Structure formats: C-alpha cells, structure tokens
Structure 1
Amino acid sequence: MKNRIEISSIIKRRTLGLTFVLGAASLAFAQQKASVTGKIIDKQNNAVPYASITFSNKANKLYSDAVLSDDKGIYKLDLTPGNYDITIEAIDFKKSTLNKQISGPLNLGNFIVESESSITGTKTSDIQGVVITATTKPVKVEIDKKVYDVKSDLTAIGGNLQDVLQNVPSVSVDPDGTVSMRGSSNVKFLVNGKPSALLGIDDGANALQAIPADQIDRIEVITNPSAKYDASGTAGILNIILKKTTKMGFNGSIVGSVGFQPRTSLNTNLSWKKGNWTWFATGGGGYTENKGKNWTDTNFATPNSDGYSRVYQISNSKNTSKNYNGSAGIVYDINDRTSVNASGTIRSFNSESDQPVEYSNYDASGKLIPGLRSSTGNNKNTGMQGDFGLDHKFNDQGQNISLSLSLQKNDSEGDSNIEQSLGSTFQLADKTNQKTVNKSVVGKIDYELPIGENSSINAGYKLDLNRNDYDFGVFEKKASDPDFLPLARYNSTTKYEEAINAAYIQFKSKIGNFGYQLGLRDEFSNININYNNLTGNPAEQINDKKKSYNGLFPSVFLSYNFSKDNQFLLNYSRRIDRPRSFFLVPFMSYTDNQNIFKGNVDLDPAYIDSFELGYNLSKKKFTLNPTLYFRNENNDVKMTVAYVFDNFEQRFVFNTTPLNLGNDRRFGLDLNYSYDPFAWLKISGEIDIYGYKTTGEYHYSYQDPNNASNIISKNISYDGNGISNRLRLATTFKIDKTFNVQLQGQFRGRQIEGANDQKAMYFMNLGATKTIWKGDGTLAFNMQDVFNTRAREVSINTAEYTQERYMQWQPQQVSLSLTYRFKQGEKVEAPKRKKDINSNSQGGDDQGPPM
C-alpha cells in the first residue's frame, strides 16, 4: 500500500511541476505596445477628473482597454498598435466618441467634453454600459503593509475567507484551517481594523468559513506592524477589509453557489445612499460537508500499559456545518466634516461530526487485537457585535479625530458522545460537554495632525476588556457501571479576565526621496484567572492566578524612492506573543483516556524582534517585491508531548502541554512578483525561502508504576534547524473580455523541529469566470485541490516511541456560483484625501487608523 501511495505521489508531484513549468514558460512571450496619453477638459479649459476613456480595437477586441483620468484629467495607458474607437464618458458630461489610428507612442492632447446640463438642463443619473477592465495588480505595496486584491483571485469566487487566504502573499493555510505567516501560526485577525464577532472565539478555523469571499474587498498583510497596531500577533496581522458602497441610490449583489463535497451558500450585499444617509446590510448562510481522513501509526520501544508494541488507528470522518451571518448599519454625515456610524453583526455556526476510529493493536508477539471507538459531536457558536463611531475633520489639511466603541459577545457550546470497545467487548462510554462565553469591550480614539506638507503625527489610546467563562464536564460509564458517573478530575469552571490599556504615538515625514516613520507603543496587561477543579483533590487544585506586565514596543520604518516605481524599504518592530486564554486555563481536556491536554497557568508572554529589508519595483507589465526578513523570539511557547504514567488513569498516556521553551529564530527571502506579458495572460506568485533555528529543552517526571517511591525524570531537547520553502504560482488566461481561467499551484517544503518532521505538501486549484447579462452577472467555476494532494504528514521520533501521522481535513471540492449585481444611481466621487507621504504609487487607502 505504501508503494502505491508513493507512486501516486510521484505522478501528482510531476503533474503539479508541469503546471509550474508551463506557467513559467509563458514568461518568454511578450508584445510591444505604444504609450498613449491625453487630457480631458471642459469648454472652460477645466480638467475633468475620473472620466472613463474606453479604447475599442476594431480588428481584435482582445486588444481593447480602458482607463480613468486622474484628478487633473490626465490619462495614460499602453495599447497594441491598431485602429481604435475611443469613447469618453464622465458624470454630468455628454458621451463623446472619436476614432484614431495608433501606430506608435502618441499624445492625443486635450479633448473637450460638453456639459450635459448645457443641452438638457438635467443631471446624468447613471452611466450605463461602462465596463472598465483595468489591469489591477494583485498585490500593492505600502510602507508598512501589502494589500492583496481579492478580485484578482478567481479560485475563491463563491468560497469563503479560508479559500481566499490560500493565495494571499506570506500566508499559509494548513489542511485543518490553521493560518500561519512565514511559518508562524501566531496571527492576529482584524476585520475593518478591529476584532470582529464574525471570526468567533479565538479566531478558530471554523470561523474562517463564516465570511463569504464575495463580501471581502481586500486583505492587508502586515508582516511587521507599526506602533499604531496591537503589539500582539508576533507572526503579523491580517486585516480583512469588507466591501462598502460607492454609489448613490439602491445597489447590491446576490451570490449563490452549489458544490461537491456538498457545499451550498447564498449571500447578499445591499446598500442605499441618499443625501447625508448611507444604509447597508449584508447577510447569508451556507452548508458545508467535509469527509476527512486521519491515521496514526505508533510503534513503542517497549510494550505500553495495554501490552501493545504497535497501535495503528484510522478514522474516516464526516463533518457537516451550517453558518449564518448578518450585518446592518448606517452612516450619517452631520456636515462636510463630521459623520457618525452604527452597525450590528450576528453570526451563527453549527456543526455536527461523526468520527469513528478503528484500532489495530499488536502485542509483542505480533497478534492483532482490533478495537473500535465511535465519536459523535455537536457544536454551536453564536457571536454578536455592536459598533459605534464618530469621525471629525478639523480642516481640509488632514487634521482629524476618530472615536469608536465595540461591544461583543460569543457563546460556544459543544458536546460529544464516545463509545469504545475491544474486539466485540464493550469497554466504556464517555459524554463530554464544553461551554464558553466570551464578552469584550473595545474602545479607542485616534488623532492625526499634519505638520507642514511632508510630516504628520498620529496618536491614540485603546482599552480592551475581555472575559471568558469556561465550563467543562466529562461523564463516563464502564461495563460495570449502572449509569454515567462524573469524572471529577475533568470537570472544572474557570473565569478568565483580561484588561489591556494601550497608547501609541507615531511621527512620519519625508525629506526629498527619503521617508521615515517612527513610533512607540505602550501596553499594560492585567490578567486574573479563577479556576475551580471539581475533584476537590489538593494535588489537582490550582490557586487563583494574577498576572500583570507592561511592555514598550518601538517601530521604525524607512523608505527611499529612486523613482515613483522604484523603492527601498527598511523596518523594525518589537512585538509580544501573549498566551491564548485557552492555553492559560489549567483544565484537562479529555479526548480519550490515552490523549490528554492540560493548560499551563504559569505561561509567560514571549517577545520578538522583527527586521525587514524590502525592495519594490513596479512597472506597467511587471512588479517585483523581494523582502529579506529576520525574526528572533525569546521565551517562545511550544506544544510539548510527554509519554507518562498517569495515576488517575492508571496507565501510560500522552500528555500535551504548552510551555515557554526557549528561542526561535527565522530568517529568509520572501519574493512576490507579477508579470502581464499579454493582454490575455497574467502571471503572479511568491517564493519564500527561509531558515529556522529552534533551541529549547523541557523536563517531565512521573511515578514509576512498579515502584511508587521511584520518580522517573526525563529531559527532552526541542532543537531544530534547517532550510525550507514555500512556492506559489497563479496563471490567469483571458479567453475573451468576458471569460477568464486561472490555475494556482502551491508547494510547501519539509520542516523539522525537535522530534517533529513535517513532510512536504503540494496542491493545485482551478477557477474560471464568465461575465453574463451585460456585465450584471458572473458565472464562476471553482475546483479546490485538483489532484487531491492537500494533506499533512508528520513523523515523530522519541526514545519511547515513533509515530507517523496523516491528516486530510478537506478533500477535493468543486463548486459553481452565480453572482447578480443590480445598481441604481451614480458613482460617488471618492473624497480627495491627503496622500500618505510615505506611500508609493502602489499604496491604497487606510480604513481609518486601526490600533
């Protein structure tokens, strides 16, 4: 069987490699284009900003293109030589057309458009039929972040946030939904610059499926956050920016999708804007079914407590989930300088799981003793959030203040039923129940003060209050028991309270081509843990715990512009890795009587120093963004596994516990690129080659089961170092103006840390879109994991045992989605904002200064 798996793996790997080669080979083709420039003005010689100029090639529609004039009425684009019909349209102006032969670089000079009111005395209510297919870059670079344009990802249409994240630069998504950045999973999630109920408690993997891809405008990837952001999340911050209305009147879209494995969803975005009022609402839901496969093969150096030398277990699980979400809000412009907003969000996630586990137990003589463990479970999670805000501009020079308040509550409850048998003999049955209630209050104030033309100061304060109530229970029935009895050791209640006070100040300026941004943030954390173990055993009881610590977190960002599309970036920041509340709560989590997780109330935060040196080159057809990075983390938290004799269970068990282990260093080269050799071909990707060095040691001890007076102690080294890599390639083919196909290939290299050896992983996705109904509809096809290779394989080698693990959370999935857009009214011209003095031409607007 192993040989068959290896042969299949080789075939799939070579097929995926062929995809990379074909995509890379297309880089060799290019076609010479001519630069065309001009200016749109009115009869009074005033510039007409944001006019739409469409160039339609009369011989080949594939060479057609469109562009918007800038705020000075000037436009520029590159066109294939030929004969073009040119159409100019702008709000409050008559549509104008002309024809030009373009044979080389050409300046069309000024083109005068006539005001529509001079002819009809009326105002244009809508520009009909204008479809601009601008060549947007998938990744834009700013001084302190990268911005990923979700619209460029065809393979995520009809999907969710988890699907989108698979193609975001510097980000990886494991088969179980765990998100990491440059090899580290300590990622901070924000929605529109702040924590959100949409992501539920502890940003769990299931929560990623609650945000539809259609509701996401872009994702800000902040690998080295500045002082204005939270200092937590040592791997970085992912800020999910949701779509917002830009048109007057009533507008919206509806997206429905169906797929296999069974996967359905229906989501809508609605907005209405009139006068000083803007109303918006989003909502929808979906059903997903996953059939996972997991197996573990453990070989013991000496027979375990049950007398087995080898235990092989396999599970073919089925998980179904239903999620619903809805948001609604208003924005009211009191005047040109002041606006207030309020919104509410509710999210519900329900799941059911069926995970039978088949055991093949072998004793020292090789005799097989089969076993069976069935496990069914239910989980319900409901999140609610209310947001309130006020924004005020003191003047038109950029001095402004923003106040916000967010109230959140998340309720989670899960239960499971477990039965275990050996051969045909019933052994035991367990019932587990877990309840968690999270309440949080987040208030913040941000202020920005420009100083002259090239400088500004940002300052702010944030209060973050969190309370988590945990309630855990386990009940067990053995063959000799008449009914279920509580396992007091695993029954506990905990109240976890956390208060974080944070303040920051940041100064940015520019001297010629040199820009800099200096910041300092202070965060004071206060934590109270009230833990009650119902067993009453003093040895198992842990006193209430109080923890307080304060930290200063500086950040420095430097940039030098050789030109507007040629820039060097150098930055540094200090960060903190606060242990998750789930890790600090000292309860024992009962999976089965051989695998036990226990929290660690004595965990301390880890601190990290992060450096980046980047270069950004952006041309019309080509962008290149290499970044050298180095991260050094002291006192980092790792999950440790100890094989010990448990007096309560009276057997050897695997104990999993988080510990402050030692030092973790990571360094590498992260290279993002894009190339558009033809109008019908776009290529983008990422190459991340990184090294890692982990040093640490942990100690554990247990009572000798054969001699109670003898304590066995062991020291385990958690050292690991090596070089690994991640590769990503996306190739988009434009078949015609309405039909696009995209292929994505990804590869993650092998990585060894301590006793854990994680094997290489590779997979490929396919997406296609077709525009229908004159631009009002989009039909999309999506296939995730084309060759069904996306799985995690890990080997563990210790003195007591060796273990092979395989886990596939989501097998190949296929879906078809349909989007319908309806609109009324004109597009609202974006307000003229003071340009960020340290951003380059690739930068995008902030959604307010998130802390």
Structure 2
Amino acid sequence: MKYLFTLFILFTSFCISVSAQTPTGKGKITGKVTDATTKLPVDYATIGIYKQGSTSPVNGTTTDPKGNFSINGLPFGEYHIAVDFIGYQRFTADHIIVNAAHPAVVIPNIALSSSQKMLKDVNITAQASTVENKIDKLVYNVGNDLTAQGGVATDILKKVPMVTVDIDGNVELLGNPSIKFLINGKPSSIFGASLADALQSIPASQIKSIEVVTSPGAKYDASGTGGIINIILKDNKVQGYNGSINASIGTRLENASVNLNARKSNFGVNAFFSGNKTLRSEAFSTKDRLSTFNDTTRRQLQNAVGYIERGGFQTGLGLDWNLSKHDNLTAGISYHHFSNHTDGSTSQEDQSVKAGISPFSDLFSLRNANNQFGEDAVDLNLGYKKSFAKDGQELDIQYTGSFNKNNGNFYQKSDYINSTTPSTGSMGNNPGKDHETEIAVDYAHPVTEDFIIETGGKLYFENINSTSNVNTYNAAKNDFIYDALQSNSFTYGRNVYSYYASASFKAFDFFDVKTGLRDEYTITTVDGKGGVIPDYNFLSPSFVLSHKIAKTQTVKLSYSKRIERPDFGDMNPFVNSADPYNVSFGNPNLHPEIGNNFELGYNRSFDKGGNINITTFYRHNGFDVKQYTTPYKSFREGDSTYNNVYVTTRANVGSEVRVGVNFSASLPITKDFTVRPNFLVATRRIMDNLPNTPSFVAGYEYRLNLNAAYQFGNDFGAEAFANYNSPNVGLQGKNSSFVSYSFAARKQFLDKKASIGFVTNVPFNDYINQSSTIVQPGNSQYSLKRVPYRSFGISFSYRFGKLEFKKDQEKDNNPGAPQPIEP
C-alpha cells in the first residue's frame, strides 16, 4: 500500500503543477458572479442573455454554489447580458461578440453591488424540480411531499425512482438490496445493525432530498453492488437565523423535530433534534410446513400473535466557518438512538406420520417470546476545504468517526400441552460495539474549462466486537442455566485502503465524459468460529458518457464495477435460536460479491416544469450471496438438539442477472394538477450450485406507483399516492404482491409560515397481507404475515426567523443595505 500512496502524492503534485490552457468551445458565454464587498460567490443569481437591442431573452441560467455559470449553444452574434439577485443592483454588459474568431467568451468577474432599496413584505417562493437527473446521480427533492408528512424515511424512499421498499421496510435499488447508505454524504454505523429500523427512525420532516447513484464514479467507495443512496438532511447557510418546528400525532406513528440555523458573517451553526415512535400494534402470522425424511412425513403448524413498538431520536450540532476566502472548516457531532420491542405467543402443532399410518406423534405447545434491541451511535466529522485562485481547483480533507453500541435481549419458552415432554427454552443477551473511522483526501484540478482531473485516497477502519451469552432452560431445575457451548464471542475487523483517479472532459465536442479507476485493498480479521480470510485487491473502473441532444434532452450511458463485502451479520457464526423451529447463523467463509452494472438512460424536461426519465439496465452479480433455508429432522448446536427445524444461512450460490427498465415522470396536467408515475419492470435469473435447489430460477418483477397532487388555491393542497409491488421470485420460492396507498392534505396560514396537515395510510384495510413460499424436493413451507398498516395522523409545521441576503461587513460599509426579511 505504500506504493499506492506514493503514487497518489506524485499524481497530486503533477495535477497541481499543470498550467491552465485556453478553453475551446462554440457559441458559449461563461462567467463568475461575486459580491463586490465580501468577494464571496453569489449562488442562484439569474443570468439573462439577450440579442443586442432586444428586450426578450434568448437564453439564461442561474449560478451554481461557487458563483459560476455557463451558457452553451449560442448562435454567433452580438449579445447583451443582465445579472440579477435579490438585494443587489442589476449588472449589465453590452456588445458581447460571439463569432468564429471568439466562440467562447469569458466574463471573469461580475461583481454585484448592494441595492439601496429597502425590502419590505417580500414573499420568496422557490422550489426545485421534484426529480433532477444529473450526470452521475438522480436527486429526489422532498419539497412539498404531502403524503410523507408525519412519516419516516422509508415513506419517502417508496416514491424515489428506481427504489423499491417492501412491506417490512427492506430497500432495493433496481432490484438489488446491496446498497451503501450515507447521511449527508458520510457513512454512519446506525445502518449497521438494522437498516430497516434505522430508516424508520429518521422522520421525513428532517429530510431535504435523497440522492440515488446507480453507477457510482471512482470518487465513491466501490462497496454496494446495487449502488448508493445518500440521505440529505435539512440545513441552511443563508445569513441571519431561521428554524422550523414539526410535529405529528397519529394512530400508528408520532414524530417531532426542531431545526435551528444561524449564520453571522463567515460563521454558521446548525442544531437539530428529532424523534419518532411507532405505537404498540398487533400483528399476526402463520406457517404451514410439510417435510419428508425417509418414510416419515412431518407437518408443523404455527399461529402467532405478536406486538411491536419502535422508537428513536437524533440530535446534533454542525459548524461551518469560512476562515478566509479560500479556506473553509466544517465540523459536526450527532447522537442517534433507536430501539424496538417485540413480544407475543405462538401456538404450535408438530405432527408426524409414518408410511401413511395415522399420526404416531402429535405434539401441541405454546411458545412465549420477548425480544428487545437498542442501539446508540455517535457520529463525528471534521472537514477542511482549500480552494485556489484557479476556479474549480480544490483540496478537500475529511475525517469521519462513528461509534456504535448496541444490545439485544431475547427470551423464549415452549410449554407442551397434554404431554409429558419437558418444557424447553432459552434466553440471553447480545452486547456489541462497532467503531468506524474514515480519513479521506480529495483533490480536483481543472486543466481547462472542459477538462477536470480528480484524485484522492481514503483510509477506512472498522472494528466490531459481539458477545452472545445464552442460557438454556433446564426443566429439572426450572431455571435458565448458562450454556457455554452455545455462547460465543466474535470479533471482526476490516481495513480498506483506497486510491482513485478520474477525469471529466468533452470528447469530439459531442460527449460529456466522466471516467475513472478506483483501487481498494482489503484486510479482514476474524476472531471466533471461522477461518482466516485472505487479503485481496479490487479494481473498480467506471465511466459515464452523456450527450445533450437538445437543450432539454440528454442521453447517458454508464458502467461501473462494484463489490459487496459480506458484513458482520452475514459472517457471524452465532446460532440464533430465539425461535427453536427457525434457527439461523452467519457464514464466516463468504467471498465478496462482484457486480458489473450497465445503464442507458434518457431524460427530457419541458418548459412547464415537467420531465421524464427512462433508464434501462443490465446487472450481473458474480459470487452472488443469497440466504437459503434447509429443513433438518434434527439439528444439534452445542448441547441442544432442535427437531423438525428450518436452518437459514448464507452462501455464495453462483450468479444473478437482472435486466430491466425504469420509467419515471413528473407531468403537470394543468397549472394546479401534477401527476408523477414511476414504473419498474425487470427479469431476474439466478444460477446456483446449492444442493436440493433448482440450478436455474427465472421470473419477472415489476413495481408501479403513482403520485397525484392538486393545489386548491394558494395555500391549500392535496395528494394521493398508490404503490403496487408484484410477486417476486427467489432462490427457493416466491413472495406475494402487495398494495399500499395514502391520502394527504395541507392548509398553510400565517403567510405560509405555518401549516397543518392530515394524512392517512391504507384507510380501508386494517392489515396488509404478505405471503411467501419455500419449495424444495420433499419439503414445502407456506407463510403468511398480516402487518398493521392503517393509520390516521395530523401534522403541524412552523417556520420562523429572519434571513439576510447581504453580508454583515457590507452593512458596516453601506448604511443603506437591505434589512432582514421574513423567510
């Protein structure tokens, strides 16, 4: 690895030493907009391009967060430019000549001076498109998503193109569950123990947008064969202060959140607190199993009633400090807690028949169970960004630390009815720690305006300690006795050393290209049951070719090679026997899963704000990791024997291929009525090498959802949302389809600073049913879950504060600078 980092240093030095070259292009005007007093960039300034002497613009754009703008595709001619932003005087420039001799005109520094006019009773309305398609990612802006109010992260994810969420909150991206989740672009150990629980502990009111990266570039970690989902939480860096309060109460879910943002001159602070609770609810499930061992057939029936409640909260503080014009320091700390509690009872019948004779064994039992899980995580981040005189040249250094403590407790005891069979059971606890550390260095260097080189390196360290203490029930002593043979301790460590290089450029004046190569070297250590895992190196190439057919149409082709390393839960060999008829354990000998992903996409936007996005994809996973279940007449673990049991574990079963298409659109039917359809259809083929399973499994899957929004006047709106997931084929069987739907309305008042809303989910059904089957030679299982889904809720939101669109030092120099205005 020392050679990799030596190469990184040499490559970075070379990039910094490359001098700028004269940009080339045709019919282009570029520039940068800054504040005349503070010299800081002005983002979202409006740029208008006019034919000289005309009052109607022929083109236009807005500046990016660095104050830059670029307008392409201009016919040769003479132009007039106008630059506007709230609180500033208009900037104009005349007689800008674009011709064959000077096809690319650069306006190096447009300095806006403050306006002398007072701003009173200003009502600012700005809303990004619901779905934005960028060269390397898709962005879903939560905005005025009414049906997500009072909900959680999974309620929003259901609406994001290419994302599928099942009834249990499990997430797939283009049909692949191997997803790398980030919060504000950074990893967090809160996703380690239970992804579904973590997502359901983040209130929707805290989320600004969700970024979906299906073909990540070299700058991103190579982990996650499905891609990356980045949850962007709300923040604000406008001068002054502002905040919001959100709360909801309902029959199934309660949420609350508070945000406060303040910025004075070059220093900003953000603080937040949010929490939610899923109220105690009742669920039902049944299982019917039929297993044949030699001349004996066993049938097992289970009918369970259970109760579940879930809760969590997050709080944090973030700082942003512009040390100078070119130096920025950020820091943050957050604390996250969530927990769940389930309890219930299961009635069981275990029947055995030999060679068609009437049952020679028919056992009835009642099993009572209680499970609790809790997790606490602290995330730290510290970042330094250095910008240089050359626009776009940046050095970014980031430290991220995540420290997680969790603990699980379980209890189960089966008492047999009308039988001399002694009671059985077990109880125990499972404390664990998960520490993750990342140190990353990224450098971007624009060689020319259209040619940018990026390079960087990252050190990633993860250490997990897990202890499983098991006590088995001793009927003779009527007590639970510590069982050393079933208890274990498992320590897992992973170090990943990464380096990447990428480039963005124009090819043949036709394609926008982004290509790169990432190298990751992995060292894994395991202390516990399991063997030695060899070190390995992984090369991850990627590229994106994008072509703008017209101003509003883009076609894009992308490829990326990804890796899914088995996580701690996949590898932990501890046998979970909380349900003695359904035991599970991990496999410490798993190999990483390798994915090759191809995508071809088309995006078009319309003048009235609508857009359509079509993505076709081909995904091949080698060393495919799948969960599979095997029936056993008897299974022994330690000094305990489990009879007529289904054992679940994971293995590298072979390969999987998915081919499909995703269509999404935002269609403004009228000025007040908008519909957003989202449709995914794919074929799935699994080739496996496991015994007692088909060597080839194939089937079609599709998902359809539709969101319809109508605005009744200026301050009242309503939405309806419906989602359908088709049956899907798995390695050993299939899961049934399910439908969910919701309705919402919102009334705004106090000049739209406050709102009150109503939302209901599946109002006409108490439960959503989900069935699944497992079919093997001589064995079958049918399962049915009835999940409580119906809910009614009321939400309230209030925004407050005063924002300034000018810097404080400007007010010192200019007594007539605008006063604070209400947001």
TM-score, with normalisation over the residues of structure 1? 0.78
Which residue of 790, 793, 796 corresponds with 1:812? 790
The reply on whether 1:457 has 2:453 as its aligned counterpart is yes
> What residue number does 1:759 align with?
736
Residue 389 of structure 1 deviates from its aligned partner by: 0.7
SS in 2 for 1:130: coil
Which residue of 564, 588, 598 corresponds with 2:575? 588
Whether contact under 8 Å (1:721, 1:752) holds in the other structure is: yes
Deviations 1:312-364 (A, max 9, x none): 21222211223121110211111111011111011111322212212244454
Whether contact under 8 Å (2:628, 2:731) holds in the other structure is: no
Cα distance in 2, alignment partners of residues 175 and 293 from structure 1: 13
Comparing 761-770 with 366-375, greater Cα deviation is found at 366-375
> What residue number does 2:101 align with?
none
With over 3 angstroms needed to count, the CA separation of the structure-2 counterparts of 1:642 and 1:253, relative to structure 1, is: same
Whether contact under 8 Å (2:298, 2:644) holds in the other structure is: no
Which residue of 500, 503, 516 corresponds with 2:513? 516
> What residue number does 2:328 align with?
339
Cα distance in 1, alignment partners of residues 510 and 457 from structure 2: 31
SS in 1 for 2:485: helix
The reply on whether 1:551 has 2:538 as its aligned counterpart is yes
Residue 609 of structure 1 deviates from its aligned partner by: 0.8
Which residue of 397, 407, 410 corresponds with 1:413? 407
> What residue number does 1:686 align with?
678
Cα distance in 2, alignment partners of residues 117 and 663 from structure 1: 64
Count of aligned pairs: 704
Cα distance in 1, alignment partners of residues 70 and 514 from structure 2: 31
Which residue of 214, 231, 238 corresponds with 1:240? 231
> What residue number does 1:847 align with?
none
SS in 1 for 2:803: coil
RMSD (Å) for aligned C-alpha atoms: 2.8
Deviations 1:63-88 (A, max 9, x none): xxxxx98459999xxxxxxxxxxxx9
> What residue number does 2:123 align with?
130
Whether contact under 8 Å (2:676, 2:708) holds in the other structure is: yes
> What residue number does 2:756 align with?
779
> What residue number does 1:144 align with?
136
Cα distance in 1, alignment partners of residues 279 and 186 from structure 2: 30
Cα distance in 1, alignment partners of residues 120 and 225 from structure 2: 47
> What residue number does 2:97 align with?
none
> What residue number does 2:203 align with?
212
Cα distance in 1, alignment partners of residues 580 and 279 from structure 2: 29
Residue 786 of structure 1 deviates from its aligned partner by: 3.6
Cα distance in 2, alignment partners of residues 208 and 565 from structure 1: 35
How does 1:658-697 map onto structure 2 within 5 Å? 658-697=650-689
Whether contact under 8 Å (1:559, 1:570) holds in the other structure is: yes
> What residue number does 1:105 align with?
none
> What residue number does 1:249 align with?
240
With over 3 angstroms needed to count, the CA separation of the structure-2 counterparts of 1:584 and 1:309, relative to structure 1, is: closer
> What residue number does 1:494 align with?
490
Residue 768 of structure 1 deviates from its aligned partner by: 1.7
Cα distance in 1, alignment partners of residues 70 and 445 from structure 2: 31
Cα distance in 2, alignment partners of residues 677 and 492 from structure 1: 61
Q: Which letter does structure 1 place at the counterpart of 2:209?
A: R
With over 3 angstroms needed to count, the CA separation of the structure-2 counterparts of 1:139 and 1:218, relative to structure 1, is: same
Q: Which letter does structure 2 place at the counterpart of 1:636?
A: D
Cα distance in 1, alignment partners of residues 340 and 216 from structure 2: 35
Whether contact under 8 Å (1:189, 1:237) holds in the other structure is: yes
SS in 2 for 1:128: coil
Comparing 620-629 with 179-188, greater Cα deviation is found at 620-629
Q: Which letter does structure 1 place at the counterpart of 2:651?
A: L
The reply on whether 1:608 has 2:591 as its aligned counterpart is no
Deviations 1:155-177 (A, max 9, x none): 11122212211111111112222
Whether contact under 8 Å (1:291, 1:809) holds in the other structure is: no
Q: Which letter does structure 1 place at the counterpart of 2:389?
A: N
Q: Which letter does structure 2 place at the counterpart of 1:801?
A: N
Cα distance in 1, alignment partners of residues 246 and 234 from structure 2: 14
Whether contact under 8 Å (1:458, 1:505) holds in the other structure is: yes
The reply on whether 1:91 has 2:81 as its aligned counterpart is no
Cα distance in 2, alignment partners of residues 496 and 612 from structure 1: 35
Deviations 1:242-296 (A, max 9, x none): 22213222210011110112x2222111011001110110112222225253423
Cα distance in 2, alignment partners of residues 290 and 561 from structure 1: 52
> What residue number does 2:286 align with?
296
Cα distance in 1, alignment partners of residues 789 and 62 from structure 2: 47
Residue 595 of structure 1 deviates from its aligned partner by: 1.9
Q: Which letter does structure 2 place at the counterpart of 1:204?
A: L
Whether contact under 8 Å (2:553, 2:604) holds in the other structure is: yes
> What residue number does 2:649 align with?
657
Deviations 1:123-171 (A, max 9, x none): x4x663404265x432110111111011142211122212211111111
> What residue number does 1:627 align with?
615
Deviations 1:509-533 (A, max 9, x none): 12433211111000001000000xx
The reply on whether 1:276 has 2:263 as its aligned counterpart is no
Whether contact under 8 Å (2:150, 2:203) holds in the other structure is: yes
The reply on whether 1:725 has 2:712 as its aligned counterpart is no
Residue 785 of structure 1 deviates from its aligned partner by: 3.0
Residue 778 of structure 1 deviates from its aligned partner by: 1.7
Deviations 1:550-591 (A, max 9, x none): 010100110111112111100111011111122112222222
With over 3 angstroms needed to count, the CA separation of the structure-2 counterparts of 1:70 and 1:755, relative to structure 1, is: closer
SS in 1 for 2:154: helix
Q: Which letter does structure 2 place at the counterpart of 1:181?
A: L
> What residue number does 1:642 align with?
630
Whether contact under 8 Å (2:87, 2:115) holds in the other structure is: no
How does 1:56-95 map onto structure 2 within 5 Å? 70=62, 90-91=86-87
User: Taking every aligned residue pair, what percent have the same amino acid on both sides?
Assistant: 26
Whether contact under 8 Å (1:429, 1:477) holds in the other structure is: yes
Cα distance in 2, alignment partners of residues 311 and 510 from structure 1: 65
> What residue number does 1:62 align with?
none
Which residue of 790, 798, 802 corresponds with 2:776? 798
Deviations 1:710-738 (A, max 9, x none): xxxxx433531022211111111111211
Cα distance in 1, alignment partners of residues 798 and 204 from structure 2: 15
Cα distance in 1, alignment partners of residues 465 and 773 from structure 2: 36
> What residue number does 1:65 align with?
none
Residue 620 of structure 1 deviates from its aligned partner by: 2.2
Cα distance in 2, alignment partners of residues 304 and 738 from structure 1: 71
Comparing 425-434 with 558-567, greater Cα deviation is found at 425-434
> What residue number does 2:524 align with?
527
With over 3 angstroms needed to count, the CA separation of the structure-2 counterparts of 1:314 and 1:652, relative to structure 1, is: closer
How does 1:355-394 map onto structure 2 within 5 Å? 355-364=344-353, 365=358, 369-394=363-388
> Where does structure 1 lack aligned partners over 5 or more consecutive residues?
1-47, 54-67, 76-87, 95-113, 532-541, 700-714, 830-851
Which residue of 583, 601, 605 corresponds with 1:618? 605
Whether contact under 8 Å (1:174, 1:792) holds in the other structure is: no
Residue 369 of structure 1 deviates from its aligned partner by: 5.0
TM-score, with normalisation over the residues of structure 2? 0.81
Cα distance in 1, alignment partners of residues 436 and 69 from structure 2: 48
Whether contact under 8 Å (1:507, 1:519) holds in the other structure is: yes
The reply on whether 1:749 has 2:726 as its aligned counterpart is yes
